[in-house]
Structure 1
């Protein structure tokens, strides 16, 4: 086995997982527990991806054909601006190959290219934003893609705001207008 595979496996196993946190999403509502990063998240995702808790924030990963889109969300799952935010993602393929990619800010979210011919199994996203270091682990991405859960944007903002594409109806995270079905 190659040293790089051993190191990649060790990094994936040692990736920091957040402990269960208690917080409330709306004033006056009861606090609820969140599972550790990488476990199922019970909240609806605003962009049709998978949401994980990362400290007092949330991170949403949206898989598309040759890219991953990463959104930084607040406690209410609202998209936060990426002012001075940076990030990387460690991508593990179904073939066991690990690739580290830089997340590039694009409007209200990050984008990273997935190497051609790669089927993702796991992604570990690390962000530095608002004075915090955040990380979240997204697993079983290959099963979600096979089940047809990879997002193909069916709704867009009528003003064509960058980052507004979504698999489900909702509001544009930039301008607030109702998303419309693509023709």
Structure 2
């Protein structure tokens, strides 16, 4: 009984960590490491940042003043945006702004970031029917700089192949290709 209570206490303490674990990934690159609170590795199908959000995953892609959000299922497959609405609370330069996210195509939501510095934090809230899906993305300024620095990757998506300059994959030897 004491063991069961200890296990329950550990589970309850660890649960909030899984809600706020953050990952930065290369496009379609699977990583073997897990962030705190995660029980599995993630892929980033669109080259963004993937966060766990209950039974879903949310991927955030920042490009200039454009914010693109994808809702992914438990297998990191992109879900359709039909019936999906969303907003992003963005912290930028010490100020908070609300960014409405509108459907764009069949599988993404887009919003225009306020003019100025790169956002440092974004809280994405999506609604589908009566369901609310939320994910928090921290340290976005440093994540964007790191993503820009890594512009070449192995076409076989080998782990550890990302590079800031052309060359050969250290695992399979194939020529690195420029990320799209």
TM-score range, shorter-chain basis? 0.5 to 0.7
User: Secondary structure, in 3 states, of the residue corresponding to 2:141?
Assistant: helix
User: Secondary structure, in 3 states, of the residue corresponding to 1:88?
Assistant: strand
Alignment-derived partner of residue 22 in structure 2: 39
Alignment-derived partner of residue 168 in structure 1: none
Structure-1-length-normalised TM-score: 0.61
Alignment-derived partner of residue 3 in structure 1: none
Between the two structures, name the one with larger relative contact order (CA 8 Å, sep ≥ 6): 1
Aligned residues: 126
Structure-2-length-normalised TM-score: 0.62
Q: Say yes or no: does 1:57 pair with 2:56.
A: yes
- Give runs of ≥4 in structure 1 deviating > 4 Å: 149-152
Gap regions ≥5 residues in structure 1: 1-18, 22-33, 153-180
Bigger Rg, structure 1 or 2: 2
Alignment-derived partner of residue 157 in structure 1: none
Where do residues 65-144 of structure 1 align in structure 2 (5 Å cutoff)?
Answer: 65-93=64-92, 95-107=93-105, 108-129=107-128, 131-144=130-143
Find the aligned partners of 1:130 and 1:85 in 2 and give their Cα distance.
Answer: 8
Find the aligned partners of 2:112 and 2:150 in 1 and give their Cα distance.
Answer: 15
- CA change 1:135–1:112 in 2 (3 A) is same
| 1:64/1:150 contact within 8 Å kept | no
Gap regions ≥5 residues in structure 2: 1-13, 24-34, 36-40, 152-177
| 2:22/2:49 contact within 8 Å kept | no
Shift of 1:37: 2.5
* Residues 81-121 of structure 1, C-alpha deviations (whole Å, 9 max, x = no match): 1111110000001x201100110100110001011223110
User: Secondary structure, in 3 states, of the residue corresponding to 1:148?
Assistant: helix
| 1:119/1:142 contact within 8 Å kept | yes
- CA change 1:117–1:55 in 2 (3 A) is same
